[in-house]
């Protein structure tokens, strides 16, 4: 997991060939003009962004999820989101088995750490990062960019 401000994203672009185009997209897109939903971008629609608006939930109502094929870049647009985290190799109790079409497994495990993410910041979650998003008080609007692990 990586947490930083969008203005520092250049430091991390060397970690994966699609991080630079993903951050270029984040920096050049006015998400306030986009409706909630999923949008493809990049060469041949290789990446996607999902814009969602919701009321934050409690820590006890947030479940850990993990992916195998995609890296998440979580970008809060409005509100402060707290995201739980637990190393993937410590996730033991599956609540919803892996769904290949959604690239998603849910776990009963509880996070071992929590981070607050503010507008202007981002968090990157790799497949080895279990994460429990959507925690917070009040209204939250966010963008989640998905980039494939393999290019």
Burial of 7: CB neighbours in 10 Å, binned 0-12, 13-18, 19+: exposed
Q: What is the pLDDT of residue 100?
A: 97
Beta bridge partners of 123: 3, 74
pLDDT in tens, 81-104: 999 999 999 999 999 999 999 999
Confidence of residue 18 (pLDDT cuts 50, 70, 90): very high
Q: What pTM value is reported for the model?
A: 0.95
Domains assigned to the chain: 2-148 (2.60.120.370)
Give the model's pLDDT for residue 71. Answer: 98
What pLDDT digit, counting tens, does each position of 22-69 carry?
999 999 999 999 999 999 999 889 999 999 999 999 999 999 999 999
**pLDDT (0 to 100) of residue 22:** 98
């Amino acid at each position: 997991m990586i947490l930083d401000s969008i203005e520092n994203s250049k430091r991390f672009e060397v970690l994966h060939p699609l991080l630079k185009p993903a951050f270029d997209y984040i920096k050049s897109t006015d998400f306030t003009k986009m409706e909630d939903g999923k949008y493809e971008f990049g060469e041949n629609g290789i990446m996607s962004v999902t814009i969602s608006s919701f009321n934050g939930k409690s820590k006890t109502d947030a479940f850990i999820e993990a992916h195998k094929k995609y890296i998440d870049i979580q970008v809060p647009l409005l509100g402060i989101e707290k995201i739980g985290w637990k190393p993937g190799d410590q996730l033991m109790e599956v609540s919803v088995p892996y769904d290949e079409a959604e690239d998603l497994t849910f776990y009963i495990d509880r996070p071992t750490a929590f981070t607050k993410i503010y507008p202007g910041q981002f968090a990157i979650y790799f497949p080895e990062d279990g994460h429990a998003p959507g925690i917070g008080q009040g209204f939250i609007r966010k963008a989640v960019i998905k980039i494939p692990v393999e290019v």
